[in-house]
Amino acid sequence: MAQRKSERWATRMGVILAVAGSAVGLGNFLRFPTQAAQYGGGAFLIPYFVALLLLGLPLMWMEWALGRKGGVWGHHTLPGIFDTVTRARWGKYLGVLGLFIPFIIVVYYLYIESWTLGYTFYAAIGEFANQNSETIKGFLNTQYLGVRNDSVLSWTLSGVIFLLITLAVNFWVVYRGVSAGIEKFSRVAMPLLFILAIVLMVRVLTLPRDIATPLEGLNFLWTPDFNSLRDPKVWLAAAGQIFFSLSIGLGAIITYSSYLRKDDDVALSGLTAASLNTMAEVIMGATIAIPAAVVFFGAAVTMNYAEGGSFSLGFFALPLVFKEMAGGALFGALWFLLLFFAGITSSVSLLQPIIAFFQDELGWTRKKAVGVLFVVVAAYLVPLVLLTGKGFLDDMDFWAVNILLPVGALIEIIIFAWILGMKQGWEAITTGARLRVPIIFKYILRYVTPLFLLVLLGSWLVVPDDPKTGALSAAVKTMMLDGVPEENKPYLIFCRVLMGVTLLALLLLLRYAWKRKLDQPEMAPQLAAAEAAVNAPGTIVEEITPELFGEDAQGKV
């Protein structure tokens, strides 16, 4: 109990940087520039900012407020918070998504994160000076990941080494704890990340003209295209980017904010974290990647690179850009080191909810929780690494980001705005606020945001991927394995079975955790007193304390 009670952020700036770090990751510097380039630069930004105001910012405030409220109740993860808010047996089971989604994402996120560390090394030794537009893709797939047509399994010794280093850094940070580990790392990594981004921005904006100038690259990014607003795919892509980059809908921010004190500000802190994230991807990420690519390739070729996937600009185009620069090895290494630090600040936030659940609901020490999670993640990475060439990673990413994130956010907003109620919800957002939140967001949270989420989910499932060639949406095609080579289908089915087994295991673990607490005879008087107090008409329990229900009740009610 003493260990859990001491888990608090040391400073206000520390928690802001940690939450901003949770959001600022590979999505900002890899995914956003690629999405913006793919949809024509300025055509993407209008839907992006609309989604930020109607979806991102309201959900950010809601998660900060819900997390702080959960911490007051003695819970740091969604199962415990949902159980308390709904007062129903099914509440904790809905909260399982707050464990399942972070776990699925962090497994493949750590793998991609290790690529950036490997590329830092290869850029520094000048490996990319020998690559061209044809061979650079082969370098990632064949030389680094070990994907070969004559073999089912994919792996290389260098790739495994960089993955092990990445795992060691991440688990060392979370092992140190919330304040001594995550906060201290964020206070160093986030300023360093922004310094690296500024250095790279200055270098890109001072590039000499090749096919185009850096200014033409910025013009491509910032010139609005109002005709694109009629394309639903642009809106879907923009909303998906908001989910991915802000880390909303998966429970990580809720866990982070649960370590706040009951009067700590969440309104200004949430806005600050969201603003830092937006600045990182719109001002920095896109200003580095897009103008650099446009200078050397032109806008049309840059868009073609972006069609290759979320990481195409970062891993395929930019290494070729850096090799053409003076000091290209140095700036290439800085670019990938920037990505590595950005990745770590996000991946540790994905590990923390699961560790917090092990501590809160199973009573484990942090050492045991971190050790068990390390073993499970390492075991999960084995098939992911070996079956990379079979689409294993892409399938996990599809289910986690395109389906589970909006579903998780929709469940959160319904519980916050409709079950807890906007009266309590709005009070939770504004209590201790140093910022006056516009009252209109009270109604946006209750009505507009859930409607936006429903339309978003429906559109993902209904809007045709290509109206000229078929009526199926990209989501339905992926679910049905449409277009997947026959030889790869068994591996993707195995991937989905593995995720299903993981979800079932977490549900059984939830059931065991709650049964375990109810079976403790010494807890019966405290639990009865807590239930009576919480359910009493007109009574609001502000904080579960040893003085209120006894020493053993702290964090268990």
Q: Are residues 468 and 541 in the same domain?
A: no
Q: Note whether 524 and 508 are same-domain residues.
A: no
Closest C-alpha among 431, 71, 445 to residue 257: 71
DSSP assignment of 390-419 equals GTHHHHHHIIIIIIIHHHHHHHHHHIIIII
Does residue 513 sit in the same domain as residue 551?
A: no
Please tell me whether residues 540 and 510 are part of one structural domain: no
Please count the structural domains in the chain: 2
Residue 540 has pLDDT above 80, yes or no: no
Residues 545 and 440 in one domain: no
The mean of the pLDDT values for the chain is 87
How many other C-beta atoms lie within 10 A of the C-beta of residue 149?
Answer: 6
Other CB atoms closer than 10 Å to residue 520's CB: what's the count? 13
Output the CA torsion 293→299→304→307 (10° steps).
80
Which residues lie across from 464 on neighbouring strands? 473
Segments forming the whole domain that contains residue 337: 2-519
305 and 391 in a single domain? The answer is yes
pLDDT in tens, 244-303: 888 888 889 999 999 988 888 999 989 998 998 899 898 898 888 899 888 888 888 888
pLDDT 10s digits, 173-232: 999 999 889 999 999 999 998 999 999 999 888 888 888 888 898 898 888 878 877 788
Provide the whole-model pTM: 0.89
> Can you tell me the mean pLDDT for 475-504?
93
The token pair that represents 190 in the structure block:
């986030």
Mean pLDDT score, 24-40? 87
> Do residue 511 and residue 524 come from a single domain?
no
In DSSP terms, which residues pair with 473 in a beta bridge?
Answer: 464
Residue whose pair of structure tokens reads 């797939």 in the numeric block = 141
For residue 179, the model assigns a pLDDT of: 87
Residues 477 and 537 in one domain: no
C-alpha–C-alpha distance, residues 51 and 449, integer Å: 9
Does one domain contain both 410 and 544? no
Residue 406 shares a structural domain with residue 494: yes
Q: What does each C-alpha distance from 412 to 104, 261, 449 come to in angstroms?
A: 19, 21, 11
Sign of CA pseudo-dihedral 84, 89, 92, 97 = negative
Residue carrying the six token digits 């394309």: 231
pLDDT at 527: 52
Q: Cα–Cα distance between 342 and 374 in angstroms, integer?
A: 21
Distance CA 173, CA 233 (A): 38
User: Are residues 489 and 526 part of one domain?
Assistant: no
CATH no. for residue 380?
1.20.1740
**440 and 552 together in one domain:** no
